[in-house]
Structure 1
Amino acid sequence: IDVEKEQELLLKHDRIVFQFPFYWYSTPPLMKKWLDDVLTFGWAYGTNGTQLHGKEFVLAISVGGPQKSYRAGGYNNYTISELTKPLQQTANLTGMKFLTHFVQYNSVVATKKEISESAEGLVQHIKDPALNPDVALKRILNEMAEK
């Protein structure tokens, strides 16, 4: 992992998207290593660690099971949002705004058509300015003021 290059890329973008298969209720090991190596103390968090403040953070994950298995009483007992709390806290710690994630469910049985539709949905999701609740609220308030 070229830490300097990765940090440079993070600085160039306002919306950071982590795309990965949800692996044993977490990130794959290489992504965890990336987080450990790139989001360093004094750069991403801690004393003077403000380089990511104000950026947006989005997860784009795929899971093998159906959506109904990720809820209280479901096979996995917890929602995706509950299972991704450590990554949400990573966003908080580094001063990023955690946005609604994109999830591809049923990945192990998805057809080519479903995968294609999911890819299109992912692009729409991560490009949507209103994904940021502050932007969405501002738009709603503007619409109300015009009425």
Structure 2
Amino acid sequence: MTTYTARPIAPSVLKQLRIDDDAGRPMTPVTDDEGGAPLRCCLRRSEPGEVIALVSYAPLRRWAAETGAQPGAYDEQGPVFIHADECPGPDGDGYPFDNDHRTVRRYSADGHILGGELVPAPDDAAFRKAFDDPSVVLVHVRAVEYGCFLYEVRRP
């Protein structure tokens, strides 16, 4: 059992991203012939034949709106894969996309980056270490190879 929760993109946000993404572009669905795309809606890799979309997403934006944070230039946006239609969300707990090294990026209450750490795989120890710093309120797990946002973790 995991202590921390890997949080997918919220269903209400996905609904909006399927209309216009965070860069203002309409979604373009495609059939994934190969599979393997890291889906941020259900935190698993796509299967061949699934209809998915690559959209622009600003992961700090909604969190900042909830908390009143002012991330400034850290309100970055980048590409994420999602199902083109609604999906049931994650199935089970645990930490997804752990098959390769990941970066655990730490954020302060104002939404500024406090640092990051390359980890062999995201796990309770990596998140515990990040949250040992009382100024850390939010963690993003990111892919090393492209720097893309994979999911967020908040304090339990």
Normalised by the shorter chain, which TM-score bucket?
Answer: under 0.3
**TM-score (structure 2 length as normaliser):** 0.22
**TM-score (structure 1 length as normaliser):** 0.23
Which structure shows the higher strand fraction?
2
Larger Rg: 1
